[in-house]
Amino acid sequence: MTDFFSGLGGIGVVLVTAFLVFVGCFIVIPTLLAIFRFLGFYIIVEERECLIYVLFGKVRLILDEPGLHFPLGSVLGWRALVVNFFGDVRVVDLRLDQEYLRSQPVNSEEGAPMGIGVWYEMWISDPVAYLFKNADPRGSLRANVGNATVRNLSNLKLSSMLEDRHTMSTLVRNEVSDKSKDWGYSLGTVYVRKVHFRDANMIQQIEEKVVNRLRQVTSAIRQDGTNQVNLITSTAERQAAVEFAKAAAMRPFIVGGALNTIAQDTEVAEVMFEILENQRMLEGNVNVTLIPPDLRGDGLTQFLTAGQAIQGGGASTPATPPPAPDTPPPVPDQS
């Protein structure tokens, strides 16, 4: 052997050693451990797991504590060497499980066909009862929960079904818990998750009623808004009319007071009234005839002026400006 390793050289020795380590770690040791485990020298129990040793139709050993166990040193004794040949080692999962039952048929007190969805949790509390007292404990628990739901929640008022789910969940859980323990199950939380109508025609009728109610409410809100707007508008108009009436009543008082103050000075009053008269004449767009002061008392001038007024339909002809002088005005001496 020494000559063999010396003939391989350094690299060959490393390769052979690595090969032997690989074979020993990944083939030989796992094979030996599997043989010892099959013969019952040791067993590993996982978390939330239970092992039940059954030999010759009897339960010999129950291991529910996680960790490394040695059945040869327990009450099983020498039977651990033959239990895998003449018996069975059953693995039971003790983890928390949950299930949901959809649309359990019930009827309300008013006769409405309803469907109730029940969600519940369960775990195995007695592995032996779970394995040997019922052929299908999970199915039996499912059927028991469904029957308890139908039996306890039928003939309830529709309002209670739609609102008080905690009470319904408590009723179902209280009835199922005692029976589930006989099959090795412990029932945890029971919750009524969904309550719905099963009749399609009833669902359609309810939808139509809801739509009509929404339309009525919308129409009432719109009408109330219109009434409020009209009320605000009429109130504003009334207040505005009152203020305009007060303003119209105050205008003669203010104007009369101003005229009374102006009338205290005769010259100012005459000038103001003359200005107002001229302004009204200009705004009236009438024709004005200008008569020189030295001809105002002449009868012929008055006669001609009256004739022009009659020909013009009661309006005077526009005043003729005086003719321009034949000679321009003298230019002042620029020197």
Q: List, for residues 146-190, the tens digit of each pLDDT value.
A: 888 888 888 888 888 888 888 888 888 888 877 788 888 888 888
173/302 Cα distance (integer angstroms): 125
185/138 Cα distance (integer angstroms): 8
226/228 Cα distance (integer angstroms): 5
Confidence of residue 90 (pLDDT cuts 50, 70, 90): confident
Sequence-distant (≥ 6) Cβ neighbours of residue 172 within 8 angstroms: 118, 120, 145, 148, 149, 152, 153, 190, 192
Among positive and negative, which fits the CA dihedral 158, 162, 164, 168? positive
Q: Give the Cα-Cα-Cα angle 80, 82, 84 (nearest 5 degrees).
A: 90
Sequence-distant (≥ 6) Cβ neighbours of residue 41 within 8 angstroms: 70, 71, 72, 80
Give the pLDDT score at 159: 84
Give the pLDDT score at 321: 39
Confidence of residue 306 (pLDDT cuts 50, 70, 90): low
Burial annotation 245-255 (CB, 10 A radius, 16+ → b, else e): eeeeeeeeeee
> Which residues in the chain belong to E strands, given as ranges?
43-45, 49-55, 58-63, 67-69, 87-93, 97-107, 113-124, 185-197
186/96 Cα distance (integer angstroms): 10
- pLDDT above 80 (res 284): no
Which range (15-29, 92-106, 109-123, 317-331) has the least confidence? 317-331
Paired tokens of 122: 């369960």
| Residue with more model confidence, 321 or 213 | 213
Q: What are phi and psi of 289, to 5 degrees?
A: -105, 120
| Residue with more model confidence, 80 or 227 | 227
Confidence of residue 325 (pLDDT cuts 50, 70, 90): very low
- pLDDT above 50 (res 317): no
3-state secondary structure of 83: helix
119/145 Cα distance (integer angstroms): 10
Above pLDDT 90, what percent of the chain?
A: 12
- pLDDT above 50 (res 57): yes
Question: Using the 8-state DSSP alphabet, how is residue 24 labeled?
Answer: I
Give the pLDDT score at 55: 86
CATH code given to domain 97-198: 3.30.479.30
Q: What is the mean pLDDT of residues 74-96?
A: 83
Confidence of residue 228 (pLDDT cuts 50, 70, 90): very high
Paired tokens of 42: 């040791």
Paired tokens of 287: 């024709």
To the nearest 10°, the Cα dihedral for 62, 67, 70, 75? -30
Burial annotation 122-139 (CB, 10 A radius, 16+ → b, else e): bbbebbebbbeebeebee
| Residues 73, 27 contacting (CB under 8 angstroms) | no
Tell which residue, 65, 85, 63, 64, has the closest CA to residue 76. 63
| Residue with more model confidence, 226 or 335 | 226
Based on C-alpha coordinates, what's the Rg of the chain? 59
Residue for token digits 């303003």?
A: 247
3-state secondary structure of 284: coil
157/155 Cα distance (integer angstroms): 7
Domain boundaries, the chain: 2-93, 97-198
318/164 Cα distance (integer angstroms): 101
Measured in residues, the chain has a length of: 335
Residue for token digits 């030989």?
A: 28
